Amino acid sequence: MNKFEHVDGNKQCSCCGEWKEATLEFFFKDVSRWDNLTHRCKECRKGARRKWFRKLPRKSKDELARQVKDARDKRRKEVLEHYSNGKMVCACCEESHVEFLTIDHVDGGGSKHRKKVGYSGSPFYYWLIKNDFPEGYQVLCHNCNFAKSNVVGGCPHQKERRPQ
């Protein structure tokens, strides 16, 4: 059997040797691999990272955490600037506190889309950059984004602007 084959929808972890379902439930996503899944299962990969991280000196851990946060903030800012044409404000209420802003799927379906691509939060921002900022997204504050999908009739700001 070819080591790159899946058997009945299962995949063998290269670390522990266990056969597990070849899904995002058991393996992390890795778009550089032929099957889009890591070669080690989630348990083995997490265990290896924990072991590696424990060996680092405290100063290195703090520096690594700062670098990760800086990279995440830079990616988020780049995405928010792109989808708000450099203004970084909510497209609905013009909220400008960056901490309150998020990306919205203009035509809805965000939850379904995130499940399909397997990303949310910071990895979703990375996905947007990697896919050359696809159309169909806008910047909204968390309140407007929530109201758009969970309040009958949409965001109250939009209701206020509609002619009676």
Q: What is the pLDDT of residue 162?
A: 66
CA 5, 38, 29: angle at the middle one, nearest 5? Answer: 115
**pTM more than 0.85:** no
pLDDT band at 1 (very low <50, low <70, confident <90, very high): very low
Scanning the structure block, which residue is given the tokens 């000196």? 57
Neighbouring residues of 164: CB distance < 8 A, sequence distance ≥ 6: none
Over residues 37-93, the pLDDT tens digits come to: 999 999 999 998 888 888 888 888 888 889 989 999 999 999 999 999 998 999 999
pLDDT band at 9 (very low <50, low <70, confident <90, very high): confident
Q: What is the DSSP string of the chain?
A: --TT--BTTEEE-TTT--EEESSTTTEEE-TTSTTSEEEEEHHHHHHHHHHHHHHS-HHHHHHHHHHHHHHHHHHHHHHHHHHTTT----TTT----GGGEEEEETTS-HHHHHHHHT--SHHHHHHHHHTT--SSEEEEEHHHHHHHHHSTTS-HHHHHHS--
What separation in angstroms does the CA of 53 have from each of 57, 71, 108? Answer: 9, 19, 39
What angle, rounded to 10 degrees, do the helices at 58-83 and 122-130 form?
60
Over residues 101-127, the pLDDT tens digits come to: 999 998 888 878 777 776 777 888 888
User: Could you tell me which residue, 160 or 66, shows the higher pLDDT?
Assistant: 66
